[in-house]
Structure formats: structure tokens, C-alpha cells
Chains A and B, each alone.
Chain A
Amino acid sequence: MSARSAVAVTGLGLVSPLGIGIEATWAGLLAGVSTAATDSLLQGLPVDFCCAVPGFDGDALLGRRLTWRLEPYAQMALVAAREAVADAGLDPAHWDGSRVAVVLGVGGTSTHHWDKQSKHFAAAHHERVSPLFIPRCLTNLAAGEISSDVRAFGPSLSVSTACASGATAIGLGRDLLLSGSCDIAIVGGAESGRARIASIGFSRMGALSTRVSAPAKASRPFDANRDGFVLGEGAGILVLERADDARARSAHIHGHVAGFGASADAYHFTTPDPEGHGTELATRTALTDAGMVASDIGHINAHGTATPVGDVAEAAMLGRVFPHAPPVTATKSLTGHTLGASGALEAAFTLLTLERQQVPVTANMDSLDEAAAELDLVTEKPRDVVTDTALSTSFGFGGQNAALVLTSA
């Protein structure tokens, strides 16, 4: 099978627990310190810490006229989308909006407003239930808001593959470009797990770290003493264009999406296949799609959420597919798990790594799990690398997997 054409990434917009904007994000990646902290919003809950976006003030950034109706994740998506479009040097006032698509990865319904609304339900105060209850729940609303905000009249949709959503959106946006359905694709992911109901829900699944006395030590991918992931929040948006189009307008190119692989474990509704057949299929499909072989990969940004089972399965798969052991990092040790945003944020982190030739650390690595012994994890300080090709993996509940091969400009 011949490789598909790579598409250019001409814009990045980043809102994450590391900060707002490309440079704040990169500084946070290099600092290599976990952002997890006790959060007053989660006071009294079994897990009362998370990774919040520092100082995010949607009203100040977007104006109350817009934010009154938007959940936090949607506000973050809009901030990131505006940054990405500006970073791409594109002006929505002058583009042909009918050729601009939006594909946003969103893992689940935003639950920030549920506490309040559920009290009204329980008290039968139906007239007090907000008319925004449904719009705030809809997972496609943020994609629609981005389309409205930047006057993009082309295909607009959200995709959901749980924690792989952001990567899936990048892959499908790439496909819309290559099929000719659009000329510009605004893609990425957004989600906020910084909500009381999200914290309770995920902790009831046994998915979250319970290290409440030392939150900054809680997110520890591939460490022997990991005990689950830490909820995070954010939005990562990429502007994609066909490489010829990007070159023709002399756009700055951060890198390319060279290959995309999607697969299903078809194994269990939440537990990953311990053999990693599905994640391996996504990874090998992405390589084939890019016209590459495993040894071409010079760096891997792993899914690495720090769940006991998930990390073992991923480590075994990466060790099997990449015996040459390229340097690996798991940036969820820094950001926590930003759910539907994570695949897009990590693709952006990987592109920045390729642009700047430095791999950020996996924080909190005190004792490498023996199951991950074959991985060359970057720890303690960022590592200089010389490579033009990297892989980013993202795996979701439901056994839905996505892998992206990313290359330098």
C-alpha cells in the first residue's frame, strides 16, 4: 500500500494545565513538574485534586457575551481555536469559509452544571432548570461554536472515542482534507475533567490515583507505584492544510501529519486488551499509512495514563513494535489526563518536540515498572534528540485506539 500524502500543521492553539499558548506550554513541558494539586472545587470528595488550567478566565479572554452559555471545555476550545488560526496566519474575515471544516474530539458530556441542575430536578423545581442544560451537555456544541466564531461554513462535527478523541479528530480532519471535502481543517480536542461529578464518577471506576496527600506525585506513568490517572482539562487545536497549499502561501509549517491509524480492541468495554492487539494494529496502520517502518520512528509520546493495567499493555506493545527503543515520554505525568483533549495536546507536544529537538520528561519516575523495562523513558531532564519522525498514541475506554505518525516540516 502506498503512503497517503502528509498534511501540514500550520497552526497550533494550546490550553492545558501547563498554561495557555504555545510558549507557556513549551516552558511547562521543559520544566517537567506535575501540575496536579488539591482543588477547592473538589473539596470533600474522595479524590480532591486534579490538573487545572492555571488562571483560565474565559470571561476575560472571550467576553461574557459569549461565555454565559459555554461550559469550561467549550471556552477552552474557543481560546485554543482562535490561537491556532492566528498562529496559522489565517484571517477568517478573508477566507472562503465554505471550505473550512471543524472536527473536534470530545470524550464525554460536560458535567460542570449537573450538581446545581440535579438539585432542581430532585426538588421538582422544573421551572428552575436552566434552558442551557441540554446545550451544555451536547458534545458537538463546542465544534459548532468554533465554526460560528471563525465563520467556518464547511463540515463541522465532534467525534468521540473517549480518551483517544483528540487524535481521532486529527486523523479524520486529515482525511477530510485529502478527500477534498475542505481546504482547511481546524481539528483537535477539548474536555474538562475538573468537575465534581467527573471526579466521583471516575473514582468509582477505580480509574483515578488516590494519592490525596501528595497530588504532585500522583500521575506516574510507567512507574512501579502508579495507582491510576489524574483528571485534567484543556484544549488542543491544530490547523491542517494540504502541504502544497501551505507551501503555496508560504505558511510556517510546524510539521506534518504523515500517518493515522485507528482500531478497536473489541475486547472489553473499559479494560484494555492486555495483549495490546488493538493498539498494535492502530500503530502499525499509522506506520503503513505514512509509508514507513517501525525503525523510522525516532520518538514516541505514549498514551501512558498511569493506570496499572493500561501502562503494562502499552509498554509491551511499544517494546514489541519498536525493538530499537526510541526515546519515549508520557506527558500525562505533567498535565494529568485531559481526556478528549489529550490526543490533540499530545500530538501538538510531539510536533513541538520535533521542531525544537528536545523530548520533555516523564515526571514522577522513581522506579520503572519491570513491565516497561524495554522502554527508553526520558526522565529527570529533557533530552536532546536528532529526529524528524515521531509517534503519538491515544487509547480510549471502549477499546478505541488512534495513532498518529508526525514528521518535521
Chain B
Amino acid sequence: MSGLHDEIAQRLSDTLGIDKSLITPDVTFVELKIDSLALVEFSVILDEEYGVPPLHLTPDSTIGEAVALVAAAMTGPAEAAS
């Protein structure tokens, strides 16, 4: 698992109280009992922390998909600028 995965898992744990040992790349938000409202709240936090635009996540998205979207959003503007 990547450093970004660990970082996002930590934020999920800190903000929503999810047990970190349950946060694997394959698990979905709904499996972590994160409902759509909590997911929007987490998306707002990611926006504030990493400056990523609102992510197109659903409760059925996996953590791995979320990490990939954050990674793309973080590198995207930099590539465009270079």
C-alpha cells in the first residue's frame, strides 16, 4: 500500500473514527459504514487538506479508487503547469 493510502486511511480514522485496520484498498465506503453524507463530509476534508476538487465518489467506491483520484488530482495541476 502506498504512502498516500496510509495518509488517507489516517484521515479517515481521525475524522470519521474508522478503525484503520479495516481500511484496505479493496474495501468500499459502504462496507466501512460510511454513508453518503459522511462521504461528502470526507470529500470536503480532502478538498481542504489536499486542494482536490469534489471527488466523484459513491458509497460503493473503494478506498483504492479514492486514493487514485486524490493522487491524480494532486499531480494533475502540476503536470499542466510544467
Q: A residues touching B (Cβ–Cβ < 8 Å)?
A: 59, 63-69, 127-132
B41 touches A130 (CB 8 A): yes
Please provide the 3 A-B residue pairs with the shortest distance between their CB atoms, ordered closest to farther. A64-B17, A65-B17, A131-B40
Which residues does chain B contribute within 8 Å of A69, judged by CB atoms?
A: 38, 41
Does the CB pair A64–B41 fall under 8 Å? no
13 A–B contact pairs at CB < 8 A? A63-B17, A64-B13, A64-B16, A64-B17, A65-B18, A67-B17, A68-B15, A127-B54, A128-B44, A128-B47, A131-B37, A131-B41, A132-B37
Shortest CB-to-CB span from B79 to chain A, Å, is 23
B48 at the interface (CB under 8 A from A): yes
Cβ contacts under 8 Å, A128 to chain B: 44, 47-48
Report yes or no: A68 in contact with B16, Cβ–Cβ below 8 A.
yes
Closest to B13 in A: A64
A68 and B44 alpha carbons, distance in the complex (Å): 13
Count of interface residues, chain B, beta-carbon cutoff 8 Å: 15
**Chain A contacts for B14, CB-based, 8 A:** 64
Check B17–A66 contact: CB distance below 8 A: yes
Instruction: Please name all residues of chain A whose beta carbon is closer than 8 Å to the beta carbon of B18 when the two chains form the complex.
Output: 65
Give the contacts of B29-78 with A (CB-CB under 8 A). 37-38, 40-41, 44, 47-48, 53-54
Name A65's closest neighbour in chain B (CB-CB).
B17
Please, which residues of chain A bring their CB within 8 A of the CB of B44?
127-131
* Chain B residue at minimum C-beta to C-beta distance from A62: B17
Q: Which residues on the A side are within 8 Å of B40 (C-beta)?
A: 131
Please state if A65 and B16 are interface contacts (CB–CB under 8 Å): yes
Bound CA–CA A229/B25 (angstroms): 53
Closest Cβ of chain B: how far from A42's Cβ, in Å? 24
Shortest Cβ distance from residue A58 to the other chain B in the assembled complex, whole angstroms? 11
Q: How far is the CA of A67 from the CA of B14 in the complex (A)?
A: 11
Given contacts A127-B47, A127-B54, contact A132 B17 (CB under 8 A): no
Find chain A residues with CB under 8 A from B17 CB: 59, 63-68
| Residue numbers in B under 8 Å from A59 (CB-CB) | 17
Which of A69, A129, A131 has most chain B Cβ within 10 Å?
A131
- Inter-chain pairs besides A68-B17, A132-B41, 7 sampled, C-beta below 8 Å: A63-B17, A64-B17, A68-B38, A69-B38, A128-B47, A130-B44, A131-B44
A77 to B16, CA, bound (A): 20
Minimum distance in angstroms from A144 CB to a CB of chain B: 14
Partner of B41, one of A66, A67, A68, A127: A68
Q: How far is the CA of A132 from the CA of B37 in the complex (A)?
A: 8
A59, A129, A132: residue with the most chain B Cβ atoms closer than 10 Å: A132
CA distance A234 to B68 in the complex (A): 43
Q: Which residue of A lies closest to B40 (CB)?
A: A131
How far in angstroms is the closest Cβ of chain A from B11? 12
Q: Report the Cα distance A68→B16, complex, angstroms.
A: 6
